[in-house]
Amino acid sequence: MSEKAVEAQPGAGVELSREEIFAAHLGGKLSVETRLPLLSKRDLSIAYTPGVAEVSRAIAEEPGLVDSYTWTKRLVVVVSDGTAVLGLGDVGPRASLPVMEGKSALFKTFGGLDSIPLVLDTTDVDEIIETLVRLRPSFGAVNLEDISAPRCFELEARLIEALDCPVMHDDQHGTAVVVLAALLNAAQVVQREIAGLKVVISGVGAAGVAVAKILLAAGVQDLVLVDSRGIIHHGREDLTAVKTDLAGQSNPQGLTGGLAEALRGADVFVGVSSAQVPEAEIALMSDDAIVFALSNPTPEIHPEIAAKHCRVVATGRSDFPNQINNVLAFPGIFKGALDAAALRITEPMKLAAA
Protein backbone atom coordinates (compact mmCIF):
# COMPACT_ATOMS: atom_id res chain seq x y z
CA MET A 1 0.00 0.00 0.00
CA SER A 2 1.41 3.39 -0.94
CA GLU A 3 2.76 5.59 1.85
CA LYS A 4 2.11 8.70 -0.20
CA ALA A 5 0.71 11.47 1.97
CA VAL A 6 -2.87 12.30 1.14
CA GLU A 7 -4.73 15.39 2.23
CA ALA A 8 -8.31 15.02 3.43
CA GLN A 9 -9.04 17.95 1.14
CA PRO A 10 -6.90 20.31 -0.95
CA GLY A 11 -5.71 23.13 1.25
CA ALA A 12 -6.30 21.31 4.51
CA GLY A 13 -3.62 21.56 7.16
CA VAL A 14 -3.67 17.90 8.21
CA GLU A 15 -1.94 15.29 6.09
CA LEU A 16 -2.53 11.58 6.64
CA SER A 17 -0.82 8.71 4.86
CA ARG A 18 -2.90 5.82 3.56
CA GLU A 19 -0.68 3.51 5.59
CA GLU A 20 -1.52 5.38 8.81
CA ILE A 21 -5.25 5.39 8.05
CA PHE A 22 -5.51 1.70 7.16
CA ALA A 23 -3.26 0.63 10.03
CA ALA A 24 -5.57 2.40 12.49
CA HIS A 25 -8.60 0.55 11.13
CA LEU A 26 -6.96 -2.88 10.86
CA GLY A 27 -9.15 -5.43 12.63
CA GLY A 28 -11.89 -2.84 13.19
CA LYS A 29 -12.17 -0.16 15.87
CA LEU A 30 -14.33 -1.97 18.43
CA SER A 31 -14.03 -4.77 20.95
CA VAL A 32 -16.13 -6.13 23.82
CA GLU A 33 -14.61 -6.23 27.28
CA THR A 34 -16.05 -7.91 30.36
CA ARG A 35 -16.79 -5.87 33.50
CA LEU A 36 -16.34 -8.96 35.69
CA PRO A 37 -13.09 -10.73 36.55
CA LEU A 38 -12.85 -14.29 35.26
CA LEU A 39 -9.81 -15.44 37.20
CA SER A 40 -11.16 -18.38 39.16
CA LYS A 41 -13.79 -21.12 39.16
CA ARG A 42 -15.85 -18.97 41.54
CA ASP A 43 -15.70 -16.02 39.12
CA LEU A 44 -16.87 -18.27 36.29
CA SER A 45 -19.68 -19.71 38.40
CA ILE A 46 -20.98 -16.19 39.14
CA ALA A 47 -20.61 -14.72 35.66
CA TYR A 48 -21.84 -17.81 33.81
CA THR A 49 -23.31 -21.11 34.91
CA PRO A 50 -24.73 -21.85 37.45
CA GLY A 51 -25.02 -18.31 38.83
CA VAL A 52 -26.35 -16.63 35.70
CA ALA A 53 -29.40 -18.93 35.77
CA GLU A 54 -30.62 -17.15 38.89
CA VAL A 55 -30.62 -13.83 37.05
CA SER A 56 -32.39 -15.33 34.03
CA ARG A 57 -35.11 -16.81 36.28
CA ALA A 58 -35.61 -13.47 37.98
CA ILE A 59 -35.98 -11.64 34.66
CA ALA A 60 -38.40 -14.27 33.38
CA GLU A 61 -40.58 -13.65 36.44
CA GLU A 62 -40.15 -9.86 36.36
CA PRO A 63 -39.17 -8.64 32.85
CA GLY A 64 -38.42 -5.11 34.04
CA LEU A 65 -35.32 -6.41 35.80
CA VAL A 66 -33.62 -6.70 32.41
CA ASP A 67 -32.79 -2.98 32.69
CA SER A 68 -30.87 -3.56 35.91
CA TYR A 69 -29.14 -6.85 35.20
CA THR A 70 -28.17 -6.59 31.51
CA TRP A 71 -26.60 -3.88 29.39
CA THR A 72 -29.77 -3.36 27.35
CA LYS A 73 -30.77 -0.06 28.97
CA ARG A 74 -27.40 1.48 28.07
CA LEU A 75 -26.99 -0.09 24.63
CA VAL A 76 -27.50 1.90 21.44
CA VAL A 77 -27.58 0.15 18.07
CA VAL A 78 -26.23 2.17 15.17
CA VAL A 79 -28.30 1.04 12.19
CA SER A 80 -27.53 1.69 8.53
CA ASP A 81 -28.21 0.25 5.09
CA GLY A 82 -25.22 2.09 3.63
CA THR A 83 -27.20 4.15 1.13
CA ALA A 84 -26.02 7.66 2.12
CA VAL A 85 -22.62 7.35 3.78
CA LEU A 86 -20.85 10.64 4.53
CA GLY A 87 -20.33 12.33 1.16
CA LEU A 88 -19.65 8.98 -0.51
CA GLY A 89 -23.26 8.07 -1.29
CA ASP A 90 -24.60 4.54 -1.69
CA VAL A 91 -21.61 2.36 -0.84
CA GLY A 92 -23.61 -0.52 0.66
CA PRO A 93 -23.74 -2.01 4.17
CA ARG A 94 -20.26 -3.56 4.24
CA ALA A 95 -18.47 -0.39 3.16
CA SER A 96 -20.54 1.59 5.67
CA LEU A 97 -19.36 -0.56 8.58
CA PRO A 98 -16.14 1.40 9.34
CA VAL A 99 -18.26 4.54 9.73
CA MET A 100 -20.75 2.78 12.01
CA GLU A 101 -17.91 1.37 14.11
CA GLY A 102 -16.61 4.92 14.46
CA LYS A 103 -20.05 6.09 15.54
CA SER A 104 -20.16 3.42 18.24
CA ALA A 105 -16.71 4.47 19.45
CA LEU A 106 -17.96 8.05 19.76
CA PHE A 107 -20.99 6.93 21.79
CA LYS A 108 -18.66 5.25 24.29
CA THR A 109 -16.07 8.00 24.45
CA PHE A 110 -18.34 11.03 24.66
CA GLY A 111 -21.56 9.60 26.13
CA GLY A 112 -20.39 6.64 28.18
CA LEU A 113 -22.89 4.47 26.32
CA ASP A 114 -22.25 1.01 24.94
CA SER A 115 -23.04 0.78 21.26
CA ILE A 116 -22.85 -1.74 18.46
CA PRO A 117 -23.07 -1.22 14.69
CA LEU A 118 -25.83 -3.06 12.86
CA VAL A 119 -25.63 -2.83 9.07
CA LEU A 120 -28.51 -4.38 7.15
CA ASP A 121 -28.36 -5.91 3.69
CA THR A 122 -31.71 -4.48 2.64
CA THR A 123 -33.11 -1.09 1.67
CA ASP A 124 -36.72 -2.14 2.16
CA VAL A 125 -38.34 -0.06 4.89
CA ASP A 126 -40.68 -2.87 5.97
CA GLU A 127 -37.80 -5.33 6.27
CA ILE A 128 -35.68 -2.91 8.32
CA ILE A 129 -38.58 -2.26 10.68
CA GLU A 130 -39.35 -5.94 11.07
CA THR A 131 -35.68 -6.68 11.81
CA LEU A 132 -35.45 -4.05 14.54
CA VAL A 133 -38.79 -4.98 16.09
CA ARG A 134 -37.62 -8.59 16.40
CA LEU A 135 -34.27 -7.48 17.87
CA ARG A 136 -35.87 -5.02 20.32
CA PRO A 137 -35.11 -7.12 23.48
CA SER A 138 -31.38 -6.69 22.76
CA PHE A 139 -31.03 -2.88 22.84
CA GLY A 140 -32.22 0.29 24.53
CA ALA A 141 -32.17 2.85 21.70
CA VAL A 142 -31.75 3.13 17.93
CA ASN A 143 -29.47 5.57 16.14
CA LEU A 144 -30.36 5.50 12.43
CA GLU A 145 -27.39 6.48 10.30
CA ASP A 146 -26.57 7.18 6.66
CA ILE A 147 -29.94 6.13 5.22
CA SER A 148 -30.93 7.95 2.06
CA ALA A 149 -33.83 10.35 1.68
CA PRO A 150 -36.76 10.20 1.28
CA ARG A 151 -36.90 6.67 2.76
CA CYS A 152 -35.26 7.88 5.95
CA PHE A 153 -38.28 10.05 6.81
CA GLU A 154 -40.74 7.19 6.55
CA LEU A 155 -38.41 4.75 8.29
CA GLU A 156 -37.83 6.98 11.30
CA ALA A 157 -41.49 7.90 11.69
CA ARG A 158 -42.64 4.29 11.53
CA LEU A 159 -39.90 3.02 13.85
CA ILE A 160 -40.82 5.60 16.47
CA GLU A 161 -44.32 4.17 16.45
CA ALA A 162 -43.20 0.54 16.33
CA LEU A 163 -40.59 0.61 19.12
CA ASP A 164 -40.98 1.51 22.79
CA CYS A 165 -37.54 3.15 23.02
CA PRO A 166 -35.73 6.25 21.77
CA VAL A 167 -35.21 6.34 17.99
CA MET A 168 -33.38 9.13 16.16
CA HIS A 169 -31.98 9.53 12.67
CA ASP A 170 -28.80 11.37 13.54
CA ASP A 171 -28.17 12.66 10.03
CA GLN A 172 -31.38 14.61 10.42
CA HIS A 173 -31.70 15.64 14.03
CA GLY A 174 -28.13 15.52 15.29
CA THR A 175 -27.21 17.83 12.43
CA ALA A 176 -30.18 20.09 13.15
CA VAL A 177 -29.31 20.43 16.83
CA VAL A 178 -25.68 21.38 16.24
CA VAL A 179 -26.59 23.82 13.45
CA LEU A 180 -29.09 25.61 15.69
CA ALA A 181 -26.57 25.70 18.54
CA ALA A 182 -23.93 27.12 16.20
CA LEU A 183 -26.33 29.71 14.78
CA LEU A 184 -27.37 30.88 18.26
CA ASN A 185 -23.70 31.48 19.07
CA ALA A 186 -22.79 32.97 15.69
CA ALA A 187 -25.73 35.39 16.03
CA GLN A 188 -24.20 36.63 19.27
CA VAL A 189 -20.87 37.18 17.50
CA VAL A 190 -22.51 39.38 14.85
CA GLN A 191 -24.87 40.90 17.44
CA ARG A 192 -28.07 39.82 15.72
CA GLU A 193 -31.24 37.98 16.75
CA ILE A 194 -31.86 34.82 14.77
CA ALA A 195 -35.45 35.88 14.07
CA GLY A 196 -34.11 38.70 11.92
CA LEU A 197 -31.64 36.65 9.89
CA LYS A 198 -32.18 35.58 6.30
CA VAL A 199 -31.04 31.95 6.21
CA VAL A 200 -30.32 29.94 3.06
CA ILE A 201 -30.04 26.15 3.25
CA SER A 202 -28.40 24.37 0.32
CA GLY A 203 -29.51 20.75 0.26
CA VAL A 204 -33.01 19.52 1.04
CA GLY A 205 -32.28 15.93 1.91
CA ALA A 206 -32.39 14.37 5.36
CA ALA A 207 -30.18 16.95 7.03
CA GLY A 208 -31.57 19.97 5.17
CA VAL A 209 -35.18 19.15 6.02
CA ALA A 210 -34.42 18.67 9.71
CA VAL A 211 -32.30 21.83 9.89
CA ALA A 212 -35.09 23.81 8.24
CA LYS A 213 -37.67 22.51 10.71
CA ILE A 214 -35.63 23.21 13.83
CA LEU A 215 -34.66 26.70 12.65
CA LEU A 216 -38.30 27.52 11.99
CA ALA A 217 -39.22 26.17 15.42
CA ALA A 218 -36.49 28.34 16.97
CA GLY A 219 -37.90 31.51 15.41
CA VAL A 220 -36.16 32.01 12.06
CA GLN A 221 -38.67 33.81 9.84
CA ASP A 222 -36.86 34.29 6.52
CA LEU A 223 -35.74 30.85 5.39
CA VAL A 224 -34.94 29.86 1.80
CA LEU A 225 -34.22 26.28 0.75
CA VAL A 226 -32.35 25.32 -2.40
CA ASP A 227 -32.10 21.83 -3.87
CA SER A 228 -30.34 20.60 -7.01
CA ARG A 229 -33.08 22.17 -9.18
CA GLY A 230 -33.19 25.57 -7.51
CA ILE A 231 -35.14 27.46 -4.87
CA ILE A 232 -38.07 25.67 -3.24
CA HIS A 233 -41.23 27.65 -4.01
CA HIS A 234 -44.92 27.04 -4.61
CA GLY A 235 -44.64 27.33 -8.38
CA ARG A 236 -42.49 24.24 -8.78
CA GLU A 237 -44.28 21.11 -9.90
CA ASP A 238 -41.47 18.67 -9.12
CA LEU A 239 -41.63 18.87 -5.32
CA THR A 240 -41.99 15.83 -3.07
CA ALA A 241 -44.56 15.89 -0.28
CA VAL A 242 -41.88 16.89 2.22
CA LYS A 243 -40.65 19.75 0.02
CA THR A 244 -44.20 20.89 -0.70
CA ASP A 245 -44.79 21.16 3.03
CA LEU A 246 -41.61 23.19 3.48
CA ALA A 247 -42.56 25.46 0.56
CA GLY A 248 -45.53 26.55 2.65
CA GLN A 249 -43.32 27.47 5.59
CA SER A 250 -40.36 29.11 3.84
CA ASN A 251 -39.34 31.61 1.15
CA PRO A 252 -41.58 34.46 2.35
CA GLN A 253 -40.31 36.74 -0.44
CA GLY A 254 -41.30 34.25 -3.15
CA LEU A 255 -37.80 33.99 -4.60
CA THR A 256 -37.16 31.87 -7.70
CA GLY A 257 -33.97 30.84 -9.45
CA GLY A 258 -30.89 29.14 -8.09
CA LEU A 259 -28.44 29.49 -5.23
CA ALA A 260 -27.07 32.81 -6.44
CA GLU A 261 -30.54 34.40 -6.29
CA ALA A 262 -31.09 32.93 -2.82
CA LEU A 263 -27.74 34.13 -1.45
CA ARG A 264 -28.08 37.73 -2.61
CA GLY A 265 -28.25 39.72 0.63
CA ALA A 266 -28.51 36.58 2.78
CA ASP A 267 -27.11 36.60 6.32
CA VAL A 268 -26.56 32.86 6.75
CA PHE A 269 -25.57 30.02 4.43
CA VAL A 270 -26.00 26.44 5.64
CA GLY A 271 -24.53 23.86 3.28
CA VAL A 272 -25.72 20.29 3.73
CA SER A 273 -25.15 19.03 0.20
CA SER A 274 -22.09 18.03 -1.76
CA ALA A 275 -22.57 20.84 -4.29
CA GLN A 276 -19.67 23.28 -4.45
CA VAL A 277 -20.47 26.99 -4.05
CA PRO A 278 -18.47 29.52 -6.09
CA GLU A 279 -16.73 32.32 -4.20
CA ALA A 280 -18.61 34.87 -6.29
CA GLU A 281 -21.93 33.63 -4.91
CA ILE A 282 -20.74 33.79 -1.28
CA ALA A 283 -19.61 37.34 -2.01
CA LEU A 284 -23.27 38.25 -2.69
CA MET A 285 -24.16 37.78 0.98
CA SER A 286 -24.66 40.61 3.46
CA ASP A 287 -22.03 42.22 5.66
CA ASP A 288 -21.05 40.11 8.69
CA ALA A 289 -22.39 37.02 6.95
CA ILE A 290 -22.29 33.54 8.50
CA VAL A 291 -21.25 30.48 6.47
CA PHE A 292 -21.68 26.91 7.66
CA ALA A 293 -20.19 24.69 4.91
CA LEU A 294 -20.93 21.30 6.46
CA SER A 295 -20.52 18.75 3.69
CA ASN A 296 -17.99 16.03 4.58
CA PRO A 297 -15.28 15.41 3.69
CA THR A 298 -15.30 18.32 1.22
CA PRO A 299 -17.01 21.54 2.39
CA GLU A 300 -19.17 23.42 -0.11
CA ILE A 301 -16.56 26.19 -0.05
CA HIS A 302 -13.10 26.19 1.50
CA PRO A 303 -13.23 28.12 4.79
CA GLU A 304 -10.23 30.27 3.88
CA ILE A 305 -12.04 31.46 0.77
CA ALA A 306 -15.33 32.02 2.56
CA ALA A 307 -13.55 33.97 5.31
CA LYS A 308 -12.62 36.67 2.79
CA HIS A 309 -16.28 37.64 2.60
CA CYS A 310 -17.85 36.48 5.88
CA ARG A 311 -17.58 37.18 9.60
CA VAL A 312 -18.17 33.63 10.88
CA VAL A 313 -17.14 30.49 8.97
CA ALA A 314 -17.57 26.89 10.10
CA THR A 315 -17.32 23.42 8.58
CA GLY A 316 -18.17 19.89 9.66
CA ARG A 317 -14.50 18.90 9.92
CA SER A 318 -12.28 18.69 12.98
CA ASP A 319 -9.17 20.02 11.22
CA PHE A 320 -10.69 23.43 10.50
CA PRO A 321 -11.81 25.99 13.12
CA ASN A 322 -15.42 26.05 14.32
CA GLN A 323 -16.45 22.44 13.78
CA ILE A 324 -20.20 21.84 13.48
CA ASN A 325 -20.58 18.09 13.67
CA ASN A 326 -23.17 15.68 15.05
CA VAL A 327 -20.62 14.30 17.52
CA LEU A 328 -21.17 17.44 19.57
CA ALA A 329 -24.78 16.43 20.19
CA PHE A 330 -25.84 12.83 19.62
CA PRO A 331 -23.99 11.15 22.53
CA GLY A 332 -25.56 13.54 25.03
CA ILE A 333 -29.02 13.39 23.45
CA PHE A 334 -29.13 9.60 23.72
CA LYS A 335 -27.55 9.59 27.18
CA GLY A 336 -30.16 12.07 28.41
CA ALA A 337 -33.01 10.11 26.85
CA LEU A 338 -31.84 6.83 28.39
CA ASP A 339 -31.12 8.41 31.79
CA ALA A 340 -34.64 9.82 31.81
CA ALA A 341 -36.14 6.50 30.66
CA ALA A 342 -37.73 8.42 27.79
CA LEU A 343 -39.61 6.43 25.19
CA ARG A 344 -39.10 9.08 22.51
CA ILE A 345 -36.74 11.90 21.60
CA THR A 346 -39.12 14.83 21.20
CA GLU A 347 -38.87 18.20 19.45
CA PRO A 348 -38.61 20.11 22.79
CA MET A 349 -35.74 17.79 23.77
CA LYS A 350 -33.89 18.69 20.56
CA LEU A 351 -34.41 22.41 21.12
CA ALA A 352 -33.19 22.05 24.71
CA ALA A 353 -30.12 20.16 23.50
CA ALA A 354 -29.29 22.96 21.06
Burial of 190 (0-12, 13-18, 19+ CB in 10 A): middle
- Would you say residue 60 lies in a domain? no
Q: Which is catalytic among the residues 4, 29, 41, 48? A: 48
Q: What confidence score (pLDDT) does residue 170 get?
A: 92
Percent of the chain scoring above 90 in pLDDT = 80
- Would you say residue 168 lies in a domain? no
- Would you say residue 303 lies in a domain? yes
- Would you say residue 45 lies in a domain? no
Number of domains present in the structure of the chain: 1
Amino acid in the structure at residue 194 = I
Helices (H), 200-329: 206-218, 241-247, 259-263, 279-282, 303-306
Residue 34 contacts residue 47 (beta carbons within 8 Å) = yes
- Would you say residue 122 lies in a domain? no
Integer Cα distance of 6 and 25 in angstroms = 16
Residue 198 catalytic? no
- Would you say residue 231 lies in a domain? yes
Q: Which is catalytic among the residues 103, 213, 243, 350? A: 103
* pTM to 2 decimal places: 0.87
- Would you say residue 196 lies in a domain? yes
Task: Read off the pLDDT of residues 154-209 as tens digits, 9 standing for 90 and up.
Answer: 999 999 999 999 999 998 999 999 999 999 999 999 999 999 999 999 999 889 99
Residue 48 catalytic? yes
Q: Which domain range does residue 245 map to?
A: 173-325
